[in-house]
Structure 1
């Protein structure tokens, strides 16, 4: 009987203290702090009223929310974790913990909390959308799974349609990508983002007339380089070569051309028998396709072959480097190669002289320049 009385007395005092806290809470002050977005002050105020060790579920969530809105993520997670321990199936708490961990880069923990939501509510569109967003690679099968689940619940949602189509394209599932986008477009005919997204898919499916019709309509209000590129491709494949050329040239005005667009321009000029322009654009295509670092790569390859005593391969690699770009560095490496590895003094002398004529940086290459001058004198005397 005595134990029962003690328990009831403790419960009474607990309720009494909570009631006092509620009475002490100035709701108008708290509302003003929320309105002015002073969430840090709001959290401090709530803790001053309810105390640091308060275990009331609603109060814990309220303080956690304040910290979350104030970007104090560590404190926010501490309170939401406390709430999770009390109610592990509370959806707002699970979403908040997942959001916090996403912000902090703890992707695996975020996935864990979102998957707890899935176990409770398997038809929650938002959770599948958020889960898919945690996977960076379109080739990740789980990303595709979550996008498919979200799309099944709401196939007309534009973000999901866009991302799912993008995944399908990476898996070479062009027809599926096209159908997904068309469903979303039919629900939102004014969505320019979706209309742009479907153009390269339609091109891949050889729906060229659709690309031209839709793309030209978009270009009247938005000269997007990607749209220009898609429409130009469609004109090329429908053999309207001059229109294709005109659009590809618009890309050049914005310096948006690339190897593929230059190649199709060259092919278009060839098709209309403008051979001088076809030649010029073919050369530009070749230049565009070659990396500015190709010469250095071959030079490095030559050095590796040289150091592993594969001298014939080294010689070939060095000469290949000169085909792409002539630099002081390659002249020096070839001079040393002929001098020390192949013992061909005439060739070595030739490249040492070319090295000095190419005007290497005197400060950065001081030792190499001094060595070169010394070797030139030695080789001349030997000759």
Structure 2
């Protein structure tokens, strides 16, 4: 209905501009088919290139924008802006075009111009917040937009997340509460409020809200927050059960396993508590931890800090066995620390760890040669 009303107004406007020239049926066909490129071309064939007719320029700018020809649309809007400076709708169009083209700086300038004309323009502040790349400036625009329309869900969510990052949990919670009161069925806002409620010790609220949300949609983030709330309410069986569900779904993490370990400990199920304490440790260790320690040890070697390098290599081995680390330790003991017996131990461990015979052919050959040489000296 809105489309046909808008289309009727559009045709009426153009008819008033040049009723004796424009073929209304042809133009109507273009709009019905959403053939905005053809519509723009048709309008350009009617009006001269240097036309200053406001309504004609507006229609051609709009058609170009709808057809995705943003440079052409911008040129028409710039002409309009020169003819009618200070028009907020025109400035919004220019801001949107530049934002879509990735020119954030120019888009900001148009939005700031809007604010100079209308210091209470919610839309301008909202878009400025979206373009903000400096946290402090983004927060400023979010706060202003929220003060103008505190029930807008997008602004409430973004402002709440900004406060949460600053650990201002009460502010973040209150911002969301106002928006939620205006839209009780907004799943995104209510879900975002759960971790804040947990931080503020509103554990019963987390459970009540979580149960309602789970009736709408089963969400692992909601379950995670409910599990934590159960733990702090000392409902350890429910805590363990909900986190076990997450584990069965394959979405466990260090935190969920930790809460399971603590819950089973409180339930005096010590075998399970031990099991999940070990799982927590394993989950907390990155597959790349050994690699990171190897890199650190290499840096120490470059600085001739051999004791520190030795400690870093051995620390890496506590996470996982590595033929590379065994080889590096062999070299360190052999060439820098001059400890032949220890060098032999790690050279043998390197070969025992079955290094790739093709990729590490030179290292394998060198290791075997050094084993012979060092053995002959002992």
Same fold per TM (> 0.5)?
yes
> Is 1:229–1:261's contact at 8 Å kept on the other side of the alignment?
yes
Q: Paired residue for 2:183?
A: 188
Deviation at 1:123, TM superposition (A): 2.0
* Cα distance in structure 2, aligned partners of 1:34 and 1:368: 72
Q: Paired residue for 1:210?
A: 205
Q: What is the 5 A alignment of 1:101-112?
A: 101-112=98-109
Q: Paired residue for 1:304?
A: 299
Q: Paired residue for 1:8?
A: none
Which sits farther off after the overlay, 26-35 or 161-170?
A: 26-35
> Secondary structure at 2:216's aligned position in 1?
coil
- 1:134 is aligned, of 127, 131, 136, to 131
Q: Paired residue for 1:9?
A: none
Q: Paired residue for 1:89?
A: 86
Deviation at 1:70, TM superposition (A): 1.7
Counterparts in 2 of 1:360 and 1:54: CA distance versus 1, 3 Å: farther
> Secondary structure at 1:88's aligned position in 2?
coil
Q: What is the 5 A alignment of 1:5-154?
A: 23-135=20-132, 140-154=135-149
> Is 1:21–1:50's contact at 8 Å kept on the other side of the alignment?
no
Cα distance per residue 1:182-232 (max 9 Å; x no partner): 222222222222221211111111011111111112112321011101111
> Is 1:101–1:110's contact at 8 Å kept on the other side of the alignment?
yes
Which sits farther off after the overlay, 300-309 or 251-260?
A: 251-260
**TM-score, with structure 2 as normaliser:** 0.90
> Is 2:58–2:80's contact at 8 Å kept on the other side of the alignment?
yes
Q: Paired residue for 1:10?
A: none
* Cα distance in structure 1, aligned partners of 2:359 and 2:39: 60
Q: Provide structure 1 residue ranges, at least 5 long, that are not aligned to the other structure.
A: 1-18
Q: Paired residue for 2:330?
A: 335
Cα distance per residue 1:155-182 (max 9 Å; x no partner): 1222222222112211222222222212
Deviation at 1:20, TM superposition (A): 10
Q: Paired residue for 1:16?
A: none
- 2:353 is aligned, of 326, 343, 358, to 358
Counterparts in 2 of 1:43 and 1:372: CA distance versus 1, 3 Å: farther
* Cα distance in structure 2, aligned partners of 1:223 and 1:277: 27
Q: Paired residue for 1:220?
A: 215
Q: Paired residue for 1:257?
A: 252
* Cα distance in structure 1, aligned partners of 2:350 and 2:186: 60
Q: Provide structure 2 residue ranges, at least 5 long, that are not aligned to the other structure.
A: 1-15
Q: Paired residue for 1:162?
A: 157
**TM-score, with structure 1 as normaliser:** 0.89
> Secondary structure at 2:123's aligned position in 1?
helix
* Cα distance in structure 1, aligned partners of 2:220 and 2:275: 23
* Cα distance in structure 1, aligned partners of 2:213 and 2:245: 15
> Is 2:17–2:56's contact at 8 Å kept on the other side of the alignment?
no
Cα distance per residue 1:42-80 (max 9 Å; x no partner): 222222222433333333332222222122222222222
Where has structure 1 moved over 4 Å in runs of 4 or more? Answer: 19-22
RMSD: 2.0
* Cα distance in structure 1, aligned partners of 2:214 and 2:166: 29
* Cα distance in structure 1, aligned partners of 2:76 and 2:352: 71
Q: Paired residue for 1:292?
A: 287
Number of aligned positions between the proteins: 363
Q: Paired residue for 1:171?
A: 166
